[in-house]
Amino acid sequence: MEIPDIIIDKLAGAESVAVLTGAGISAESGIKTFRDQDGLWAKFSPEELASMDGFLANPKRVWEWYNLRMEVVKNAEPNPGHFALAELEKMYSDFSLATQNIDRLHQRAGSKKVLELHGNLVENFCNKCHAPFHGETALPNGQVPLCPECGGNIRPAVVWFGENLPAEALLEAETIARRCDVYLTIGTSGAVYPAAGLPLIAARRKAFVVEINPKETEVTPYFSAHISGASGVVLPELVKKIKQARK
C-alpha cells in the first residue's frame, strides 16, 4: 500500500484533524453499505424503511428491518479501520470524528468522542411524547413496541430522510470543518447532505482533504487527494506512517 508522502507530511504536521466516516468503514465488519452494488438501497426502499411516512404507514415492517439490523450490528466487531481512528484521536489535541453510521462500532473500537450525525441503533424513543424507551423492541407475534407513558409508537433514534440532523453534533462537525488543517473523508459516497457537505466546507477553505475509498465518488474532484483502498487496510498504514514521520 503506497501512500503519497504529501499526505503523511500534511497529517504529521497538522494541529487540527477532522474525520467523516460513512458505511464503507464498517463494510469490513460485515455490515452492508447503502449504495454499493449489493447495498441496502439496492434491495430495500428508503421511502418505506427510513422515512416518517413509511414508519406511520407500516411500523411493523420498519421494526422488523431495524431489529434485523440491530442483530447484525450486535454480532459485528470493529475492524482495523475503526481501531486506527481511535488511535488517531489520541495523536491530536484538536480532533473530531463525525460519522453517518448508526452502528456504534467507532465507540466499541475505543473512539472517545463521536459525533453521531444520523443517530444510532441502540437508543429508541416515543414518536408521540418523545420519552426515551429502554424496553425490548423485538416482540413476538408481529407486535410493535409501544410507549408505556402515552401508548405512542416507539421508534429507533436514527435520522430518517426528511428529518433534521442532531443540531449540536452537526454544528460541532461544521465548526471543525472550518478550522481543521486536514480533513479525512472515509467510506462515504458523499451523496447525502448535509453530512456530505462537511468535507466540502474544508475543501472550500483550502484545508487538505483526503478521501479514502476503493472507488472515486461524485465529490472526489473537490478534494486534495484520494487513496484508493479499503479503510481497514489504508488507515492502520496511515497511522503507522504518521507516527514514523513524527519521530
Residues that bind ligand OAD (CB under 6 A): 22-25, 27-28, 33-36, 39, 46, 50, 100, 118, 159, 187-189, 191-192, 213-215, 217, 230-231
Q: Which is nearer to ligand OAD, 56 or 191 (CB)?
A: 191
CB of 247 to ligand OAD, least distance (A): 28
118 part of the active site: yes
Q: Which residue among 82, 106, 118, 130 is the active-site one?
A: 118
- Name which of 39 and 152 has its Cβ closer to ligand OAD: 39
DSSP assignments along the chain, one per residue = ----HHHHHHHHH-SEEEEEE-THHHHTTT---SSSTT-HHHHS-HHHHSBHHHHHH-HHHHHHHHHHHHHHHHT----HHHHHHHHHHHH-SEEEEEE---S-HHHHTT-S-EEETTEEEEEEEETTT--EE-S----GGG---B-TTT-PBEEEEEPPBTSPPPHHHHHHHHHHHTT-SEEEEES--S-STTTTHHHHHHHHTT-EEEEE-SS--TTGGGSSEEE-S-HHHHHHHHHHHHHHHH-
- Is 137 in contact with 67 (CB distance < 8 Å)? yes
Shortest CB 86 distance to ligand OAD, Å:
16
- Nearest approach in angstroms of CB 143 to ligand OAD is 25
Query: In this complex, which beta carbon is closest to ligand OAD, that of residue 41 or of residue 139?
Result: 41
Residue with CB nearest ligand OAD? 24
Closer Cβ to ligand OAD, 147 or 202, answer by number: 202
Cβ proximity to ligand OAD: between 118 and 241 the closer is 118
**Cell 416515543, residue?**
126
CB of 23 to ligand OAD, least distance (A): 4
Beta carbon of residue 214, minimum distance to ligand OAD (angstroms, whole number) = 5
Catalytically active residues are: 118
